[in-house]
Amino acid sequence: MRDAYHEELAALTEALVEMTRLVGSAISRASTALLDADLALAESVIHADDAVDALRDDIDRRAMDLLARQQPVASDLRTIVTTLKMSADLERMGDLARHVARAARRRFPDPAVPAPLRATIVEMGQVAERLVAKAGGVIASHDVAAALAIERDDDAMDRLHRELFAALLDVSEPYGIEAAIDVTLVSRYYERFADHAVAVSRRVVFLVTGQQPQELTEPV
C-alpha cells in the first residue's frame, strides 16, 4: 500500500510537469499569434486553455483525495500542499497566455504590437518560454539550485517590462492610445507569467528544504 501511495505522489509530480508543457506551448503559440496577427492560432490558444483548467482540477482532486485517505505528515504533506499551490500558479500562467492570445484576436486583422516594439515582445515571449521550461525541470528534478536560479532569470523579464514602459512614455515616438493600452497589457501579462514561474520555483525550494528561499543561509 505504501508503494501505491508513493506512486500516486509521483503521478502528481508528473501531472504538474505536463501542465508546464501545456502552458509553455500556450505562451509560445500566443506570442506567435500576437506578432503575426494570426487569428486561427489565437483562437486555438484560447480554446486549449480548457485542457489546462481540466488538468488543474484533476490534480487538485487527486491531491485532496490523498490528504483525506492518507493523512500525510512531514515531507509527504509538503508535497501535497505545494502541489495544490503549484497547480494554481500553472493554471494562472495558462490564463495569462490566453490573455495574450485574446489581445491578438481583439486587434485582428491589425497587429497589436507596433513594429518598433516587436523585438522587445519577441524577447519577452522567449524569456517566458525559458522560464516555464525551467519550472518544469525543477518540478521533476527537485533541484534546489536550479529553482533558485529561476528567480535570477526573472530579472530579464523585469528589465524588458521596464523597457517597454520607457518606450511608451517617449513622446518622440507616439504610438496612439489603443496601441499603448495593448502593449501595456501584454507586457503585464508576460511579467505576471514570469512571476508565477518564480512562485513555482520557490515552492520547489520549500518542498525540498522545508524553508522559504530567503531563509536559506548556505549555498545550495
Distance of alpha carbon 94 from alpha carbon 105, whole angstroms: 17
Per-residue pLDDT at 74 = 82
Instruction: Measure the CA–CA gap between 177 and 62, rounded to whole angstroms.
Output: 46
Residue 167 CB neighbours (<10 A): 17
State pLDDT tens for residues 1-29.
567 888 999 999 999 999 999 999 999 99
What is the number of other CB atoms lying within 10 angstroms of the CB of residue 130?
17
Which has the closest alpha carbon to 135: 87, 90, 86, 197?
197
- Residue 215: pLDDT band with limits 50, 70, 90: low
Q: Residues 99-146: pLDDT tens digits?
A: 999 999 999 998 899 999 999 999 999 999 999 999 999 999 999 999
- State in words which class domain 2-215 has: mainly alpha
Distance of CA 75 to the CA centre of its chain: 25
pLDDT tens digits along 32-66: 999 999 999 999 999 999 999 999 999 999 999 99
pLDDT score of 220: 36
Name the residue among 203, 61, 35, 21 with its Cα closest to residue 121. Answer: 35
Judge residue 91's burial from the number of C-beta atoms within 10 Å of its C-beta, 0-12 exposed, 13-18 middle, 19 or more buried. buried
Q: Which sequence spans correspond to the domains of the chain?
A: 2-215
CA distance 87 to 52: 10
pLDDT in tens, 151-205: 888 999 999 999 998 888 875 667 778 888 899 999 999 999 999 999 999 999 9
pLDDT of residue 140: 96
Longest dimension (CA), the chain: 69
